[in-house]
Amino acid sequence: MAVTTYVEAIRQGIWEEMEKDERVFVIGEDVGIYGGAFKVTAGMLERFGEWRIIDTPISESGIVGAAIGAALMGMRPVAEMQFADFISCAFDQITNFAAKCRYRWGAGIPIVVRGPSGGGVHGGPFHSQNPEMYFVHTPGLKVVCPATAYDAKGLIKAAIRDPDPVIYFEHKFLYRRVKEELPTDDFVVPIGKAAIRRKGADITIVTYGAMVYTALDAAKELEKEGIDLEIIDLRSLLPFDKEAVLDSVRKTNKVILLHEDTQIGGFAGELAAIISEEAFEYLDGPIRRITAPNTPVPYSPPLEEFFLPKVSDVIRVARELYAY
């Protein structure tokens, strides 16, 4: 098995699906000659040609609109947003057309809309956002947020094979920092299944994306104090693995909900409601949230460092909850 980075895993997943299925094609800004802003599509133009690797003008609404039309004609488009922040320009096509076609007249729209999200790279308020919740609130879509190279490859392949629209948020901070050995045979990661990244007995942390590593780093420090964290990586937000969350909470009796997105309207609020409704009797303390504050992402590096949830935040809240 070869050591593969997170970004290379995405590239391999798309490449392999294009080799298997000639209906799969890539469309987006600079995906062809330039190979994508982060090189996810590097080399694909030379291998698959300009009919399957399509450079477009700067028009996210046009990219997604064309992808939806192609999907209705039987194709399997992978639409790249150069930065996930600009997916908002295609919001109407995604939420009012792609998401609703199956409900309106039985037509599935098998498209993948993927792009780099998240902060930690000093990209400022237009290149660092976490826009997942706009789409989690839209029935008819699936939303995935892989944290590992294995999941990045397995989920992009699952997304391409899915009969309905999938929004695939890849965290740019992980692109070349995260790597692991991947199997050489074909595999997918099922959409909607969480993973236990660390087993523990005292407190459950439910998280996803780059925050998985923040939680794991905090767990190493807290282990020295005898505080044993269990870490659930959701991997998919819509649908999400409710039973994995509830089973862990029922075991540890205390829970911290951690995400990089801002707090109001964030996924932690939804999780807190479900845990309160279905596992309240098991709780031995308040449900705690650790999120970014309710501001745009700062451009200033020191302010961005303050803005993003950190290991020290997890350690502080875990100590408080453990002592409750």
Alpha carbon 35 to chain centroid distance?
22
Q: Which residues are catalytic?
A: 127
Which pLDDT does position 2 carry in this prediction? 76
Which pLDDT does position 227 carry in this prediction? 98
pLDDT tens string for the chain (324 positions)?
Answer: 679 999 999 999 999 999 999 999 999 999 999 999 999 999 999 999 999 999 999 999 999 999 999 999 999 999 999 999 999 999 999 999 999 999 999 999 999 999 999 999 999 899 999 999 999 999 999 999 999 999 999 999 999 999 999 999 999 999 999 999 999 999 999 999 999 999 999 999 999 999 999 999 999 999 999 999 999 999 999 999 999 999 999 999 999 999 999 999 999 999 999 999 999 999 999 999 999 999 999 999 999 999 999 999 999 999 999 999
Which pLDDT does position 302 carry in this prediction? 96
What spatial distance separates the first Cα and last Cα of the chain, rounded to whole Å?
46
Strands, E assignment, the chain: 2-5, 24-28, 53-55, 76-80, 112-117, 142-144, 166-171, 179-182, 195-198, 203-207, 229-233, 236-238, 255-262, 288-292
Would you state the structure tokens that stand for residue 62, as one six-digit string?
């046009």
Which pLDDT does position 232 carry in this prediction? 98
H or E element that contains 98:
none
On whether the CB atoms of residues 18 and 44 are closer than 8 A, the answer is yes
Which pLDDT does position 236 carry in this prediction? 98
On whether the CB atoms of residues 129 and 295 are closer than 8 A, the answer is no
Q: For residue 119, what are the contacts with CB-CB under 8 A and spacing of at least 6?
A: 128, 129, 130, 173, 260, 297, 304, 307, 308
Which pLDDT does position 92 carry in this prediction? 97
Which pLDDT does position 141 carry in this prediction? 98
Which pLDDT does position 214 carry in this prediction? 98
Give the angle subtended at the CA of 261 by the CAs of 151 and 77, to the nearest 5°: 45
Q: What is the CA radius of gyration of the chain?
A: 20
User: Which residues make beta-bridge pairs with 274?
Assistant: none
